[in-house]
């Protein structure tokens, strides 16, 4: 069973601060996806990382895939209240179709 | 931007009844998926579907569940003889292909079993 552990589970910071959330596993993932989920809605794709060591940027969000493809991080610069939400990482192992999801990080950015 | 649509948004059903959840995947996508999320828990994979047959299923997807692509646009999940523990959000997703291609999710159907 592949597990994705996300940390921290909850994070509340002030607007303008920087933050990093983590997604870790003992399994190697062929790809890893980050989603954001609002209450009552489905996960919305933010980014997919595939190559070990890969870094992708999406405006103020920076995503990194670990060299060994077992972990990933999401860094937000100058957080804004609009960044508030549940951030999920999900990985695909080898030839599997189904994604394994973490429990998510609940992020609150206070004005 | 194309999106995955799911109906109904909320379904309330008596225990023991059959329920069908419907999804319209993104039109050029070839792989379709169902996931569920029990309240307060993580999203769990149920089944993937390609070329009119099940490609992969999890241990959750037992004989109570079935999937079908009845026409060129719809993808359905049928739950026979529903149980209280089937209450959850059910998400449909689709992707262009498998592997590295990202999966795009619908907004889900909230299934409540009474």
CA A13/CA B9 separation, integer angstroms: 33
In the predicted model, is pLDDT for residue A1 greater than 60? no
Average pLDDT score over chain B = 94
Domains of chain B: 8-97 (2.60.40.10)
Q: Compute CA A67 distance to the chain's CA centroid, rounded to the nearest angstrom.
A: 16
* Residues in contact with B86: Cβ distance below 8 Å, sequence separation at least 6, in sequence order: B64, B79, B111, B113
- The whole-number pLDDT of residue B52 equals 92
Q: Is there a domain that residue A82 lies in? A: yes
Could you tell me if residue A102 is inside a domain? no
**Does residue B102 belong to the interface with chain A, where contact is any CB pair within 8 Å?**
yes
How many structural domains compose chain A? 1
Q: Which domain holds residue A31?
A: 16-95
Distance, in Å, from the CA atom of B48 to the CA atom of A54, rounded to the nearest integer, reads 27
Tell me which residue in A43, A92, A96 faces B43 most closely, judged by beta carbons: A43
> Measured between alpha carbons, how far is B4 from B93 in angstroms, rounded to an integer?
7
How does residue A46 score in pLDDT terms, banded at 50, 70 and 90?
Answer: very high
In A, which residues are within 8 Å of B108 by CB distance? 40-42
Q: In angstroms, rounded to a whole number, what is the distance separating the alpha carbons of residues A33 and A30?
A: 10
d(CA B29, CA B93): 10
- Specify if A77 maps to a domain: yes
Q: What is the mean pLDDT of residues B39-51?
A: 94
A111 in B contact zone (CB under 8 Å): no
pLDDT, residue B37, reads: 95
Q: Over chain A, what is the mean pLDDT?
A: 93
């Amino acid at each position: 069973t592949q597990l994705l552990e996300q940390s921290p589970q909850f994070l509340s910071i002030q607007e303008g601060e920087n933050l990093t959330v983590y997604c870790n596993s003992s399994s190697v993932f062929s790809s890893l996806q980050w989603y954001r989920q609002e209450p009552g809605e489905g996960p919305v794709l933010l980014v997919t990382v595939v190559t070990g060591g890969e870094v992708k940027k999406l405006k103020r969000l920076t995503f990194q895939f670990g060299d060994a493809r077992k972990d990933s991080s999401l860094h937000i610069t100058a957080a804004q209240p609009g960044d508030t939400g549940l951030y999920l990482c999900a990985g695909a192992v080898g030839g599997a179709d189904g994604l394994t999801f973490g429990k998510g990080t609940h992020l609150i950015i206070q004005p | 931007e194309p999106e995955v649509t799911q109906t109904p948004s909320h379904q309330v059903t008596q225990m023991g009844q059959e329920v069908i959840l419907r999804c319209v995947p993104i039109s050029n996508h070839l792989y379709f998926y169902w996931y569920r999320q029990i309240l307060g828990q993580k999203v769990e994979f149920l089944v993937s579907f390609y070329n009119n047959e099940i490609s992969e299923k999890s241990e959750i997807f037992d004989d109570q569940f079935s999937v079908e692509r009845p026409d060129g646009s719809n993808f359905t999940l049928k739950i026979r003889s529903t149980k209280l523990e089937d209450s959850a959000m059910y998400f449909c997703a689709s992707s262009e292909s498998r592997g590295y291609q990202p999966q795009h999710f619908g907004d889900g159907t909230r299934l409540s079993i009474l």
